[in-house]
Amino acid sequence: MQWQAIGCSEIGSGHIKTGIPCQDFCGHQIISNNQVTIGAVSDGMGSAAHSDLGAKIAVQTTLNCLNQRDWLNNSINESQAQAFFDELLETVVKEIQTVAKKEGYSVRDMACTLLAFIATPNWLVAMQCGDGLIVIRPQSSQNYQLIFQPQKGEYANEYVPITSASADQYMQVKVIAEPIDFICAATDGIEHISLIKSKQWKAYDKFFEPVETQIMRSHKTEAEKKNIVSDWLKSDDINQRTDDDKTVLLCIQNSQNHNSSSGPIQSSNIQLNPSPSPSAISQSPSTSRDPIESLEDDSLNSQPSYNIQPEFDKIKEDIYKFTQNQYHNIDIKLSFKKRILTISVISDQKVDQKNFIDLLRRIDFNDYELPIKEVNINHRGNRNHQYWQYKFSLDSIQPWVNKMLYIILIVILMTLISLLISILSNGLLMQILMYIVYSLILIISVDIYVNQSR
């Protein structure tokens, strides 16, 4: 059995508009007489100025490390794999630090993810740090399996890059002790069209099956296969679904055990539509196959009217810009809910609360395309213990002014009601009734005030 592989990275439409280079990178090598394939994929953090360089260094260094062992004649267990990838991660980060120092960059400006794998005829071992996906199809199955759940960190749209001090705590490692016929390692640019979020990020068979059968197992040459994938990733159909960079690394192990439900593969039946549909690769009319479709996931249609991630990138870039002279080794995590922007400052070093708040107040949060009414800031360590917390409002009227006005209004209202009771209540029964109404109004007012204060 022998391996075949192609890798392809294409810039996202959003990066084309803003003049940002493609921040994805991938690479692979087929070694040991085509019996073993090693691969790596990296996605540079959008807010990091030189993350494209960081991603390239991460992949190249990983491949160099993976190519130093004889995987064909040696097996590996979970604990050995964990120890190996711990060492590999440390090596990659040291190389990034070396280049950053040489070029005069901040290590944070080269932040990126990393996915890596080694596949032999009989087993596969993989690691993932950050978001992205690795999907496989074991030789014993016709179903596609996601190895690791998407890693987003503590907050939505966030992940822990390999340059973070806590990266080793988030790295995932797995050994699969059976032959694998198909591998797809990819960045999160294709996440929403290849995984079903509503089913706990299940691999979408109708996406991966045509990729394997119609492309990788066709009789096309390696260059032709790569061109097909490249054209598809650049297509308007894909760019309408995601404006992020897209990278896929596809590998197959030549085997007679793969039986496609669509019948044998004939290369003459594979052609590219002039205007790619959800299936950029389609069959000729004489042969019908299931196309690469969009996901049947209602969550994709429930996005807010504003795009959070680009604004998060802008906010983080501004925060780093104003704080980097005094605080070099901090991570920023953002979340946005009910018009409240939460900024988590994560580091083991001391961050002075007053000084940091003064630096953040130089940022005009009204300039971003998010309806922010309040900013919460908290400083905590990598071990998740809290140091300090602070919040301020962006409303034109400060919260304490709103509260005072509310109290004054309640006092006036209750005074008027008291006067009304004294005028209208001639009998004991009427007095009791009026005071019950008075008490109810007071209780409701206090309850509203308490809820506003939370």
What pLDDT shows up at residue 241?
83
In terms of pLDDT, which residue wins out, 451 or 336? 336
Q: Is 264 helix (H, G, I), strand (E, B) or coil?
A: coil
> If you average pLDDT over residues 360-380, what whole number do you get?
87
Residues 170 and 128: beta-carbon distance below 8 Å: no
- Flag whether pLDDT at 267 surpasses 50: no
- Flag whether pLDDT at 309 surpasses 50: yes
Find where tokens 């179903």 sit: 143
What pLDDT shows up at residue 40?
98
Nearest to 35 by CA among 92, 119, 107: 119
What pLDDT shows up at residue 74?
87
CATH assignment, 3-301? 3.60.40.10
What pLDDT shows up at residue 151?
66
Mean pLDDT (the chain) is 81
* Rounded distance between C-alpha atoms, residue 42 and residue 23, angstroms: 8
- Flag whether pLDDT at 159 surpasses 60: yes
In terms of pLDDT, which residue wins out, 158 or 129? 129
Cα 230 to chain centroid, rounded = 22
What band does 404 get if pLDDT is binned at 50, 70 and 90? confident
The full set of domain ranges for the chain reads: 3-301, 308-393, 399-453
What tens digit of pLDDT does each residue of 15-47 get?
A: 888 889 999 999 999 999 999 999 999 999 888
- Flag whether pLDDT at 358 surpasses 50: yes
Residues 3 and 34: beta-carbon distance below 8 Å: yes
What tens digit of pLDDT does each residue of 164-206 get?
A: 888 988 899 999 999 999 999 999 999 888 998 777 789 999 9
> If you average pLDDT over residues 319-330, what whole number do you get?
80
3-state SS, 316-378, equals HHHHHHHHCCCCCCCEEEEEEECCEEEEEEECCCCCCHHHHHHHHCCCCHHHCCCCCCEEEEE
Q: Which residues make Cβ contacts (< 8 Å) with residue 110, sequence separation at least 6?
A: 44, 48, 50, 51, 53, 54, 57, 96, 99, 100, 163
DSSP designation for 393? E
> If you average pLDDT over residues 381-410, what whole number do you get?
72
Residues 27 and 63: beta-carbon distance below 8 Å: yes
Nearest to 121 by CA among 254, 212, 259, 216: 254
What pLDDT shows up at residue 232?
92
Global pTM? 0.63
* Rounded distance between C-alpha atoms, residue 203 and residue 218, angstroms: 22
What tens digit of pLDDT does each residue of 422-446 get?
A: 777 667 777 777 777 777 777 777 7
In terms of pLDDT, which residue wins out, 444 or 93? 93
Per the rule left: phi > 0, alpha: psi between -120 and 50, beta: everything else, 149 is beta
